[in-house]
Each structure stands twice: as C-alpha cells, then as structure tokens.
C-alpha cells in the first residue's frame, strides 16, 4: 500500500489523488506468486476507479521480461520512483525492485503468457506492464526467513517523511505462532529523485536498525510529531486464523509500548484482519492500509467454495490511533 500522499508532500500527483494497492498470487499456475498493482483513482472517494498494472523484470538486455514474483507486502512511492518488496525465492536474489512511474508500457498481445511472444509482448491478459529499472540485493547472498540472525527478507516497507532526510523503513515477518522477534531497518533517501542513498561502493547502508520484542509483524510505519524527532513505530500484529482481527502496537526506543483499542470493552484485537503495509498520507494525517486475505471459508486460496470478501482498503486518522492507545 502506497499513494500520492507518499509520492509528494502535497498529497497529489499532478492534480490527482492516487492509491496503489499491491496484490500477490498464491496458486498452482505457471504464474504462481506473480504480483500486480491496482492504480486507484482516488479523486472521488465515492466513485473509486482502478486499472491493473503488471510489474515485470526485464530480461535479455530489455528485449524480454518476466513477471515479478512477489507477495507485494510492501511498496513505497517516493517522487517518481516506486520501490516494491520481492519474494524470498526471487531468482535474482533481489529483496526490492525499483520502478519508474514514467515508464509504464502497453502490452500488444492478449494472452496468458508474460513476456515476448509471437506478434509482440503479452502480460497474462493485463493491459499494462511496468518494467523495473533497478533492484536491491543483500550483501552475502539470498535472504532467509529462518530466524532473526539471518539475512532479512523484507515483509513490508513504508515511507517516513518526518525523518531528516526522508527515509524508507522496512520490517521482516515471522509467523505469529513462532518465537522469532521482528527487526526493523531505516534507509535514507538521497538527493537523486526516488533513490536510496549509497556510499562510494554503491552500497545502501541502514542508518538505523532495531529489534522488537514482537512476533507476527506484517507492517511498520515510522512517524515523529516533529521533523527529525524521536520516531514512534506503529506495527501491526497480524494474528493467524480466519476472521481474527489484528493488533496495532506503537513502540519507540525509550521502551514505551501501547496498543490501539476500541469499544467499551477496550478490546485490543480490533485492527484490520491480516493487515500488511501501512502508508501515512502526510497532507491529510490519515494512515492507509489494506487487509491481506482473499481466502475461501476454510482459509485457503483454493477450495470447493468461492473466495469471501476479506480484501479491504481503508484509512483512519493517525490522531485517532494515538488517542485510542493504552
């Protein structure tokens, strides 16, 4: 989840309000684990319209491409670049890919294939593709979600405009039924539009790193009430199981921890079901997120009945979250 509220501090891209919603696939077809992005026209909240765009990875010097294999757990749209998390088993060992918002191409052949085909280029039936212009890989090899001592697989990312300079914040995911605590990293953006800051060896080094005491985190949002101040980290605990609501925590480096609650009974498990990435729309003060599942009633992607409507895109004021903490 990201938006024009991330891309530009006035909240619009040109004259338009835009939400980007990432969707991952978990099936048994040849395009298994393929990611896609819904570009949502959010100018009129009562009349939302969207168009699918397929993120792809160029091959053979740009003459061909493959689908991005990604859970789409995190996206950051910053200036004219879009950074997207990859998949743990990405064939190039990349943990994030960079896309250029000025480079969206139209497929010329309507078929189930992805890439160059007879007569042109296809995108599995989608009309538009967005080729990556760069990627990030980890020093030392592929990521691993085995434990919190391994090279991290980023589960989610978000933008922090309250830091100096603006920064990307990333977290990893471990099962809520396990014991491994999630780690959080911060990477500064550079003066080059949309790119992360690098050293003289073209390495992107974390400007800060933390280990939480929480497991099962699927999203992170960092924000400070003052520019360059000590940030609070809002992290969502996506509890497993069909129909289980999540818990939204606020933590900081001083050790203060609180959870959002709702209702007269002060229930803490009242965040969205299986929410993932979060995005703070700076100009409106609202936190956007979306729920993950589109499962059937048994909690699986395939089954004897139809998918139930568990994919929800929603926003709440950050001030409301803070006022509900205890």
pLDDT for res 304: 55
- pLDDT at 274 exceeding the cut of 90: no
More confident residue, 89 or 98: 98
Give the pLDDT band of residue 148 (cuts 50, 70, 90).
confident
- pLDDT at 28 exceeding the cut of 70: no
Give the pLDDT band of residue 230 (cuts 50, 70, 90).
very high
- The mean pLDDT value for 289-303 works out to 68
- pLDDT at 83 exceeding the cut of 90: yes
- pLDDT at 201 exceeding the cut of 80: yes
Name the token pair of 235: 């992290």
Across 101-124, b (16+ Cβ under 10 Å) vs e yields beeebebeeeeebbbeeeeebbbb
Beta-carbon contacts of residue 30 (< 8 Å; ≥ 6 apart): none
Task: Compute CA distances 165 → 3, 144, 150, 190, 311, whole Å.
Answer: 19, 29, 28, 8, 34
pLDDT for res 54: 97
- pLDDT at 303 exceeding the cut of 60: no
pLDDT for res 31: 58
Residue 279: which H helix or E strand, with range? strand 275-281
Whole-angstrom Cα Rg for the chain: 19
* Mean pLDDT over each residue of the chain, to the nearest integer: 89
Give the pLDDT band of residue 112 (cuts 50, 70, 90).
very high
- pLDDT at 300 exceeding the cut of 70: no
Give the pLDDT band of residue 298 (cuts 50, 70, 90).
low
pLDDT for res 312: 84
200 SS3 class = coil
pLDDT for res 8: 95
320 SS3 class = helix
pLDDT for res 297: 62
- Whether residue 26 has a cis bond before it, omega within 30° of 0: no
More confident residue, 253 or 307: 253
- pLDDT at 170 exceeding the cut of 90: yes
Widest distance between CA atoms in the chain? 62
pLDDT for res 309: 64
Give the pLDDT band of residue 264 (cuts 50, 70, 90).
low
| Alpha helix ranges (H) inside 61-213 | none
| Alpha helix ranges (H) inside 175-261 | none
Please report, rounded to a whole number, the percentage of residues in the chain having pLDDT higher than 70.
Answer: 90
- pLDDT at 16 exceeding the cut of 90: yes
Q: What is the pTM (predicted TM-score) of this model?
A: 0.92
pLDDT for res 272: 84
Q: Where are the domains of the chain?
A: 2-323
């Amino acid at each position: 989840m990201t938006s024009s509220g991330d891309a530009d501090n006035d909240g619009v891209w040109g004259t338009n309000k835009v939400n980007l919603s990432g969707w991952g696939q978990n099936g048994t077809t040849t395009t298994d684990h393929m990611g896609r992005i819904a570009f949502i026209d959010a100018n009129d909240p009562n009349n939302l319209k969207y168009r699918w765009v397929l993120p792809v990875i160029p091959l053979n010097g740009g003459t061909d491409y493959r689908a991005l294999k990604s859970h789409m757990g995190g996206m950051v749209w910053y200036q004219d670049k879009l950074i997207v998390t990859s998949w743990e088993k990405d064939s190039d060992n990349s943990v994030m890919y960079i896309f250029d918002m000025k480079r969206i191409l139209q497929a010329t052949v309507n078929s189930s294939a992805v890439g160059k085909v007879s007569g042109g280029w296809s995108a599995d039936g989608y009309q538009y593709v967005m080729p990556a212009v760069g990627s990030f890989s980890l020093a030392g090899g592929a990521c691993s979600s085995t434990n919190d001592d391994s090279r991290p697989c980023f589960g989610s990312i978000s933008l922090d405009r309250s830091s100096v300079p603006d920064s990307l914040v990333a977290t990893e995911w471990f099962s809520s039924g396990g014991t491994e605590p999630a780690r959080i990293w911060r990477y500064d953006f550079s003066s080059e539009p949309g790119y992360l800051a690098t050293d003289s060896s073209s390495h992107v080094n974390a400007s800060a790193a933390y280990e939480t005491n929480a497991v099962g985190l699927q999203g992170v949002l960092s924000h400070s009430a003052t520019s360059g101040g000590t940030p609070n980290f809002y992290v969502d605990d996506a509890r497993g199981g069909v129909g289980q609501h999540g818990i939204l925590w606020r933590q900081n480096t001083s050790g203060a921890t609180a959870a959002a609650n709702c209702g007269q009974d002060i229930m803490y498990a009242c965040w969205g079901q299986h929410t993932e990435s979060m995005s703070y729309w700076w100009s409106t003060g609202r936190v956007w997120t979306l729920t993950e599942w589109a499962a059937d009633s048994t909690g699986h992607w395939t089954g004897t009945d139809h998918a139930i409507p568990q994919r929800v895109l929603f926003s709440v004021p950050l001030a409301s979250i803070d006022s509900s903490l205890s």
